[in-house]
Amino acid sequence: MATSPHSLNISGRDAEARVLKDADYALGPAELDRVISDIYEGITETPPWNSALEHMRTLMNAAHVTLMLRPPSSESTGVMINAGEVDDQATHSYETHFFAIDPFVGLPEGEVISAEDLIGKEKWLESPMYLEYLKPLGIRHLLGADIYTEEGIECRLRVTRQPDGSRFSKKDITLVHILLPHLRRSIQLHFKMDYLESERQLFSGTMNRMLLGVVFLDQNGSVLEMNQEAERILAEKDGLILTNKGLTANKRSENQELQAMIQEAIAGGLTDSGPAVAEAMSITREFDRSRLGLVVRTIPMGPWSEAGRRPAAAIFLRDPDYNSAEPVQEVVQRVFGLTRMEAALAVYLAKGYTLDEAAEKLNVRRNTARTHLRSIFGKTGVSRQTMLVRLLLKSVVSLG
């Protein structure tokens, strides 16, 4: 397609490498710096890039600036971030219907172009997308650019103006073109952060499911974060308490040992000379309760890690008196091919109930429970109740 006077047809990395003249910049250095800062700071906003899109809307005298972070499809309504007055019903209509007839999609990367320049003025103004969707919303002019990344991300940036607004100028198009590479990089950073957060939540949930408490400490020994199981253990304030200075053992001798382990782990992470193996100890509790198990591990600083409040050491806690992670009945049933009743019996046995107690819980006779148990043995390949319990607690069902 030939480049129109109102479009910039520059694709891929060439778009980022294009040399612009001072006259091409519609903004002064200070204003340009502010909007670019908004783009990168937008990674941490909720919704992301809200300030940057609003800033662009003001600069371009636009009715709306929309970032389709995940464009709608037949499988999903997608994710759209809007700046400007938005009609929720109109957004829903686009997400569920009009996206399928939108001809203003699939733009080459790096190209900033209006809908009229893409498909022709008459064809655009006669299109169902314009007549049935945009015109009733008071939208006349539409400018867009699509972003594609190596990670498989596809995003769409759309800018609109009302009928009384002027057509998007070369300056407007150049401004979007200037900001596009920054938005692309910001989206890539957001993708990486979102991936890491999803991974963190998955592992945190797994630790909670396994009833393993985890506490992260910074270089000063202060607590940065902990999971739910660690919160439960520390809330009891039995043997181990949380203070403004970090974790403290109630017993003086144990606290001295704990603080020495923590300091050694933190120092090791900073100098790459941390303990080759994790340091471990037990913490005394009151009323003849079992001692808490505690392990301290170094979190090494990477070769390019910044200083500051970053995890330097991790403390793992295990409460022997708290029930082991209990298998979920539905997961037990699927993993071992058991019937619903057999799975329920297996779960009760894993919780520590005797066969008679489990039969009572299930409201069945002891002989019936014994018959189910024999069937369970046959399906799981074990021959004793203790072996069955060990199998359940060590299998993946505890992660269900």
d(CA 201, CA 81): 24
Asked whether residue 323 is assigned to any structural domain, the reply reads no
**Mean of pLDDT values over 290-305:** 87
Q: How far apart are CA 298 and CA 216, in angstroms?
A: 10
Q: Residue 312: inside a domain, yes or no?
A: yes
Contact 121, 151 (CB under 8 A): no
If asked whether residues 294 and 361 sit together in one domain, one would say no
pTM of the entire structure?
0.73
Distance from CA of residue 62 to its chain's centroid? 32
Q: Three-state SS across 97-163? A: CHHHHCCCCCCCCCEEEEHHHHHCHHHHHCCHHHHHHHHHHCCCEEEEEEEECCCCCEEEEEEEECC
The span from the CA of 208 to the CA of 196, in Å, is 18
Q: Total structural domains in the chain?
A: 3
Whether 182 and 313 map to the same domain: the answer is no
Same domain for 308 and 345, yes or no, is: no
Q: Which amino acid would we find at residue 104?
A: F
> At 34, is the pLDDT very low, low, confident or very high (cuts 50, 70, 90)?
very high
d(C-alpha 133, C-alpha 94), whole Å: 8
Q: Is residue 379 part of a domain?
A: yes
| pLDDT given at position 20 | 65
Domain endpoint, select from 293, 318, 343: 318
pLDDT of residue 79: 94
CATH classification at residue 49: 3.30.450.80
Rounded to the nearest integer, the mean pLDDT of the chain is: 87
Give me the pLDDT at residue 19, please: 63
Residues 302 and 344 in one domain: no
155/66 Cα distance (integer angstroms): 10
Instruction: Give dist(CA 250, CA 240) in Å, integer.
Output: 6
Distance CA 188, CA 66 (A): 18
Confidence class of residue 8 from pLDDT cuts 50, 70 and 90? very low
Q: Are residues 169 and 231 in the same domain?
A: no
Q: Which of 295, 318, 341 is where one domain is finished?
A: 318
| Helix ranges (DSSP H) in the chain | 12-17, 29-41, 50-59, 88-96, 115-119, 121-125, 128, 170-209, 228-235, 252-271, 329-336, 340-350, 355-362, 366-380, 385-394
User: Phi and psi (nearest 5°) for 84?
Assistant: 110, 170
The C-alpha atoms of residue 255 and residue 251 are separated, in whole angstroms, by 6
Residue 382 forms part of a structural domain: yes
Q: Is the pLDDT of residue 383 over 70?
A: yes
User: At residue 347, does pLDDT exceed 60?
Assistant: yes
- Give the gyration radius of the chain's Cα atoms: 30
Please indicate, yes or no, if residue 204 is contained in any of the structural domains. no
Which domain-ending residue is among 196, 230, 258?
A: 196
Range of the domain at 307: 210-318
Question: What gap in Å lies between CA 326 and CA 348, rounded to an integer?
Answer: 9
Are residues 167 and 90 both part of a single domain?
yes
